[in-house]
A and B are shown apart, each in its own frame.
Chain A
């Protein structure tokens, strides 16, 4: 069977992401497994969960990032969520008592950064509002709960609440032309 070649020879490509994932999946899983086994064997605090979450963060942020919506806002908000979970895990599993202050500061710092990312490239980033809305709503709900439940009220929590509310307003302003349609497309269930 003779084959007439009718396709161009592809140029040699750099290391493919898929291959990198293939190479690193084993070591990552092994590291997580070893941590779990050592932690269970030695006993004590469940530090292995923190290591596993940190490995997951590295995996999802660096080794195998999102295939869809890989833009600066979505990646940054994802990093914020995952960092907050990591901080909460450290507080719950290792040393407690500080997480509310730290997570609040991380949140409002993150919201300021997201706002900067959003406003410096408004035309393009206004199509990536959902992660910002979710972050703002999440931070607002958490901080309002913090204000209601925890006494005395800490300044970090109040600032987070104010900033997340402001960010939400900015997002709604960004969608002002057709807010109903924008929300429908973000939350459609069809």
Chain B
């Protein structure tokens, strides 16, 4: 509305309706508000403002009215057919139709002060009073680099007035549902704006875009202060006690899509998904006796994947998150601090995130371990499932002799290289069958032989740690840690040919990964937990760190964690190329191996702690000899 003064020309009326345009917003959007040609700009806040001169936090959304271009015929709107991101529709917004757009484009990067000054000069009414206000604005103008980012909705081609209004109402609703700190709230609104802009530019009708991004997907998660907390499960208790600078139990799960990841959509997918995984939306805190997970309401953000995989997550600050979602080209990765979950729980999160990502792009899917994001989390999902194991009975299983370690110096950067052996699952299964073994036993045999190639030791024993999913013995929907491990142990001198080893490995697997053996180990873990319960954390933490530092992972030569076959709903199978699983938890072990299979794509991953290539080269040769012929992808060596 009009405030009756000349300065109120910053609030003016266009055909679009009542429009209030603050000068500060002009600065934000980098355009001159006095130019009608610049656009049918509109303010969704009907209330007038008293002063439009002082820069303030962006509240207005200015949207441009242009006709919506036709949608792609075959692909779902929002999802490009050929994998390329849709180009902004500049052709439709041709200068002939909107001559001011070109000028707007030039001004887009203008400084806020400059834009304000220009406006006043061109409007011809910036005399004494306005001059004073400009001076005032100059004083209050945000410093370079602190200017709020321009709204992505500036050049969005809305088809009609109703769409703009719907969008404005939508964003107003979103604002009401977010009760975070101002900075995070602004960032989250910006996320929504970016996602809307992306979807509309890629041909999705605005109504459909708003439906997909419906505010109900936020639930009440971001509008209530947090009060919940979770005690650590019995397996997780050791991780914060043993961690130190540069050493942290982090693992990573990745999904490779058939087209490049859209960060704007991934961010929204995470924003919607995280509320379902309340035990992941937490910060690690110190209690007097144990650490715990404190639910933290914040904007959990996605980051470009530009660091060393599985590098420690900084969890020290108030409100720090204990996982990270990364994207690189066509890969979505989630790295978890093991305190939150194990591979199975992590995979549920990744699948749900990917499903939500595709839902936002127009591909609905459900089932196959994907959690409905708007459903209430079941109590069972956050339970400490180790307590399901009865306490009466024998308890043992944590101690062991030191195992032979592979050769090669330990790298300063850990893991210093990631290698993915991508194989055809059927061929791999056939190769295992030819040896009369399961895939796990067969690959273990190959690892023992490859390990033998990577060490000069001729005596002692090699031991491979094999995590065992306890859910197969105690069906549980828990998303927390619920796995134990066993050690497959062979004397170095007996390690010659995989064929000669598979029988013994299968026998040991059957015995050591049995329910009885696992129960004994869980009981031992539960007993240790009970004994340590009443010792204050400041006393037990240094002791645990020292003990763990001495023992470390020295009783194992390496680890092989097989997540098995991951199923995806049919809507996603054609869109997810493969998955991989990286273990970054080793301390003295030179390599850690992990595997996951999706459809026909089996990916064996080797996370290396040494530049010595003997292990992977031997493993590759053995696989090739058996006709598996893996395709190898991975990272460069992070240090020479």
Residues of A132-190 whose CB lies within 8 A of B: 134, 177-178, 181, 185-190
Interface string of A1-21 (1 = CB under 8 A from B): 111111111110000111101
Is the pair A190, B227 in contact by a Cβ cutoff of 8 Å? no
Contact of B287 among A10, A17, A187 (CB under 8 A): A187
Stretch at the interface among A27-35, A39-47, A63-71: A63-71
Residue interface bits B196-235, CB-to-A below 8 A is 1, else 0: 0000000000000000000000000000000101010000
- When C-beta atoms are compared, the residue in chain B nearest to A19 turns out to be B412
B247 touches A18 (CB 8 A): yes
Give Cα A124–Cα B298 distance, bound, in whole angstroms: 11
Is B245 touching A124 in the complex (CB atoms < 8 A)?
A: no
A128 interface hit (Cβ, 8 Å): yes
Contact in complex: B227, A181 (CB < 8 Å): yes
CB contacts (< 8 Å) of A134 on chain B: these are 288
Fill in one digit per residue for B281-300: 1 if any A CB lies within 8 Å of its CB, else 0: 00111111111101000000
A106 interfacial contact with B, CB 8 Å: no
Q: Which of A7, A69, A127, A128 contacts B635 (CB 8 A)?
A: A7
A130 CB within 8 Å of chain B: yes
Which B residues are CB-close (under 8 A) to A70? 316-317
- Report how far A107 CA is from B5 CA in the complex, Å: 59
User: Could you say which interface size class chain B belongs to?
Assistant: 35 or more
| Nearest Cβ on chain A to B498's Cβ, whole angstroms | 18
Closest chain B residue to A124 by CB distance? B318
- Which of B246, B316, B638 contacts A69, CB < 8 Å? B316
CB contacts (< 8 Å) of B634 on chain A: these are 3-7
Asked if B306 is at the interface of the complex by the 8 Å CB criterion, the answer is: yes
Specify which chain A residues have a CB less than 8 angstroms from the CB of B534 in the assembled complex.
Answer: 189
Q: Which of B306, B308, B318 contacts A125 (CB 8 A)?
A: B318
User: Given A186-B287, A190-B290, A68–B316 Cβ distance below 8 Å?
Assistant: yes
Q: When the two chains form their complex, are residues A67 and B317 in contact, meaning their CB atoms are under 8 A apart? A: no
* Residue contact B306 to A10, C-beta cutoff 8 Å: yes
Tell me the residues in window 312-329 of chain B with beta carbons closer than 8 Å to chain A beta carbons.
315-319, 328-329
For B292, what are the chain A residues with a Cβ–Cβ distance below 8 Å?
185, 188
The CA of A11 and the CA of B291, in the complex, are separated in Å by 33
Q: B308: nearest residue on chain A (CB-CB)?
A: A10
B543 in the interface, Cβ–Cβ < 8 Å?
Answer: no
In the bound complex, residues from chain A placing their C-beta under 8 Å from that of B418 are 7
B287 x A188 contact (CB < 8 A): yes
Q: Is the CB of B305 within 8 A of A18?
A: no
Inter-chain contact B229/A67, CB cutoff 8 Å: no
Whole-angstrom CA separation of A90 from B638 in the bound complex: 48
Neighbouring B residues of A4 by C-beta, 8 Å: 631-634
Question: What interface size band does chain A fall in?
Answer: 35 or more
Interface string of B155-198 (1 = CB under 8 A from A): 00000000000000000000000000100000000000000000
Option from A2, A3, A123, A186 in Cβ contact (under 8 Å) with B288: A186
Provide the residues of chain A in CB contact with B289, threshold 8 Å. 187-189
B317 to chain A: which residues have CB within 8 Å?
A: 70-71
Quick check: B315 and A68 within 8 Å, CB to CB? yes
- B533 — which chain A residues lie within 8 A by C-beta? 189-190
A45-75 Cβ-contact flags toward B at 8 Å (1 or 0): 0000000000000000000101111110010
A123 (CB) vs chain B CBs: closest residue: B181
CB nearest neighbor in A for B617 = A1
Q: Is the CB of A9 within 8 A of B636?
A: yes
Q: Produce 1/0 per residue, B72-89, CB < 8 A to A.
A: 000000000000000000
Residues of the A chain whose Cβ atoms lie less than 8 Å from the Cβ of B631: 4
Q: Which residues of A contact B308 (CB under 8 A)?
A: 10
Min Cβ gap A176→B in Å is 12
By the criterion CB–CB under 8 Å, are B638 and A10 in contact? yes
B interface footprint on A72-86 (CB within 8 Å = 1, 0 otherwise): 001000000000000
Q: CA A92 – CA B123 in complex, angstroms?
A: 79
Q: Are A187 and B288 touching (Cβ within 8 A)? A: yes
B461 within 8 A of A: no
Q: Chain B CB within 10 Å — which of A70, A177, A188 has the most?
A: A188
Cβ of A160 to closest chain B Cβ, rounded Å? 22
- Nearest chain B CB to A171 CB, angstrom units: 14
**Contact: A190 with B244, CB < 8 Å?**
no
B482 within 8 A of A: no
CB–CB B316/A127 < 8 A: no
Q: Is the CB of A66 within 8 A of B181?
A: no
* Chain B neighbourhood of A177, CB < 8 A: 227
Known: A17-B246, A19-B412, A181-B227. A7 touches B286 (CB 8 A): no
A1/B244 in contact, CB under 8 A: no
Contact B288 A127 (CB under 8 A): no
A66 cross-chain contacts in B, Cβ below 8 A: 316
Q: Does A68 lie within 8 Å of B318, measured CB to CB?
A: no
List the A residue with the shortest CB-CB distance to B309. Answer: A7
Q: A1-B617, A17-B246, A185-B292 are in contact. Are A7 and B328 (CB under 8 A)?
A: yes
Q: Does B124 contact A (CB under 8 A)?
A: no
Contact indicator per residue, chain B 617-628, by CB within 8 Å of chain A (1) or not (0) = 100100000000
What residues of B have a CB within 8 angstroms of the CB of A2 in the complex?
632
Asked if A6 contacts B227 (CB within 8 A), the reply is: no
In the complex, A134→B287 CA distance in Å? Answer: 11
Contacting B at CB under 8 A, from A76-117, are: none
Complex-state Cα separation, A185 to B228, whole angstroms: 9
A69 to B240, CA, bound (A): 11
Task: Indicate if the CB atoms of B287 and A16 lie closer than 8 Å.
Answer: no
Residues of B238-260 contacting chain A, CB below 8 A: 240, 243-248
Q: Give the nearest-CB partner of A4 in chain B.
A: B633
Interface flag for B640 (CB, 8 Å): no
Tell me which residues across on chain A come within 8 A of B633, comparing CB atoms. 3-6
Whether B632 contacts A68 by the Cβ 8 Å rule is no
Chain B residue at minimal CB-CB distance from A7 = B635
CB-CB under 8 A from B22, the residues of chain A are none
Knowing A68-B315, A69-B286, A70-B316 are in contact, say whether A8-B306 is a contact too (CB < 8 A). Answer: yes
Interface residues of B in 583-640 (CB under 8 A from A): 616-617, 620, 631-636, 638
Contact (Cβ within 8 A) A130 B307: no
CB distance from A118 to the nearest CB of B (A): 12
Residues on the B chain within 8 Å of A189, using CB? 289-290, 533-534
Q: Is B319 touching A68 in the complex (CB atoms < 8 A)? A: no
Pairwise interchain contact A5-B318, C-beta atoms closer than 8 A:
no
Cβ of B412: which chain A residues have Cβ within 8 Å of it? 16, 19
Query: Could you say which of A5, A6, A8 has the most chain B C-beta atoms within 10 Å of its C-beta?
Result: A6
Question: A11 vs B179: C-alpha distance in the bound complex, in angstroms?
Answer: 35
**Does B28 sit at the interface, judged by CB under 8 A?**
no
* CB atoms of B306 and A18 under 8 A apart: no
Interface contacts beyond A1-B617, A5-B634, A127-B318: sample of 8 additional A-B pairs, CB < 8 Å, sorted by A = A1-B632, A3-B632, A5-B636, A7-B309, A70-B316, A71-B318, A128-B318, A181-B229
Can you sample 9 A-B contacts with CB below 8 Å? A3-B419, A3-B632, A3-B634, A4-B633, A68-B315, A69-B284, A123-B181, A134-B288, A190-B231
> A-B pairs with the 8 shortest C-beta distances?
A18-B246, A70-B316, A7-B635, A189-B533, A17-B245, A185-B229, A190-B231, A4-B633
